Amino acid sequence: MYDVIIIGAGPAGLSAGIASRESNLNVLILDEFPKLGGRLHGQLHQEPNGEWWNGVAETKKLVDRAEELNTEIKTGVAVHHIEKTEAGFSVHTNIGVLDTDQLLIATGAAEVAAPVPGWTLPGVMSIGAAQVMTNVHRVRVGQKGIVIGVNVLSAAIARELQLAGVELHSMALPAYNVVTKDHSHPKKVMEGLVRIAHLAPSAFLRFGSKFAKAAWIRNLAVTFYPGGGVKMWGMPIHIRKAITQINGTEEVESVTMSNVTTEGELIPGTEETIAVDFVCIAGGLYPLAELAAVIGCPFQYLEELGGHVPVHNEQMKTPIEGLYVAGNITGIESSKVASAQGTLAGLSMAKEKATDPADLNKQVKRAMDHVKQTRADASIQFHPSIDEGRTKVHDAFKQIEQEKIAR
């Protein structure tokens, strides 16, 4: 019987394990992959202050600290079911059933698949797969490629590919379909582009992004968006062009690009063929929350957080007694925020087990403040109105707790 089982060994799970072990809890961290660190492994970028964020190095720091504390960690373990019991939780895995008093789900996020005709050809991959191949495995994904999907994630990883010496023709929108409707709408995409313009080396783009926060200016910018795109890091970003087809017989050979209206409708007769040997599709991220659903945790759908998220409070506790969540399962944000949430969750669980929680109360308060400060300091946000989304999900927790008392 463990005090805490943590599902997921990314930045949130590892940080939670460290905080729990520092409070002398009996902890087990599980992850289905052979390597610890989750999405941290693929991250390598320069911060606005000039410092480099190296996900591999950050993973090593977390793993080294966890090992110093004799934290039990098992990789290659898949969790397929969770039961709530009188004593806590039974976690069903491929190595048997594991029992725990408290449970933290830190399963992270998954990529949204944006279907484009020809996307099953060899040479087509998600933008996240390209990141891992480049930064983790040091494998060149191709000679010249194109990114389908203009968002915070694709822009950040495109820059990483460039830094690794990979040539990118441009970034463009996917053609409209039921799945890509938001990602193919120029006006909606412009909102996201404004949120990353401050990272561009062009002073003009940085200056212009300040004015484009107004909706009418964004609409005007879409109407008069340059046909050749706006360059960031020397790479054209198109929001008035869409990829309608990925071409090739046995592998990617080219893509078909067409002009679109301000509403994302294809303009006939504007098709052009662009020779590339790989394609990255970027549909964004969504919280990977199936395990929380299995156990019956209540959810809310919040666009500000990236999709369906389990209801939880500011201390990362859910309405199910003993169940906590942390990281991108609670909303799409940076690895730094996920790590801060993990530390907070670990301290919150330790407080529940403590006979004298006075000191831990102070640590939990500091950890809550650290999460907020880390979020405020983030150079980019994956979704607008992230604070409003957090407030909504915390209010939902309060409402559920009040209904419990009323019953």
* 143 vs 165: CA distance, rounded Å: 9
Quickly list DSSP for 197-223.
Answer: GGGSS-HHHHHHHHHTTSHHHHHHHHH
CB neighbourhood size of 99 (10 A) = 14
**What residues form DSSP beta bridges with 255?**
246, 274
pLDDT given at position 212: 46
Closest by alpha carbon to 352, among 19, 70, 11?
19
Domain boundaries, the chain: 2-110+285-406, 113-281
Single-letter code of the amino acid located at 321: E
**Residues whose CB is less than 8 angstroms from the CB of residue 391 and which lie 6 or more positions away in sequence, other chains included:** none
pLDDT given at position 204: 39
**Residues whose CB is less than 8 angstroms from the CB of residue 245 and which lie 6 or more positions away in sequence, other chains included:** 116, 117, 118, 255, 256
Which pair of structure tokens corresponds to residue 205?
């783009």
* 393 vs 383: CA distance, rounded Å: 15
> What predicted TM-score, i.e. pTM, was given to this entire model?
0.89
Q: Which CATH number fits domain 2-110+285-406: 3.30.70.270, 3.40.718.10, 3.30.70.260, 3.50.50.60?
A: 3.50.50.60
Rounded mean pLDDT for each run of 10 residues along the chain, 407 residues in total: 96 98 97 89 70 83 96 97 96 97 96 90 95 86 95 85 92 89 83 61 44 50 75 86 96 97 93 97 93 95 94 98 97 94 98 86 96 87 86 96 87
Which pair of structure tokens corresponds to residue 223?
């109407």
pLDDT given at position 202: 47
What is the topology classification, in CATH, of domain 113-281? FAD/NAD(P)-binding domain (3.50.50)
pLDDT given at position 195: 61
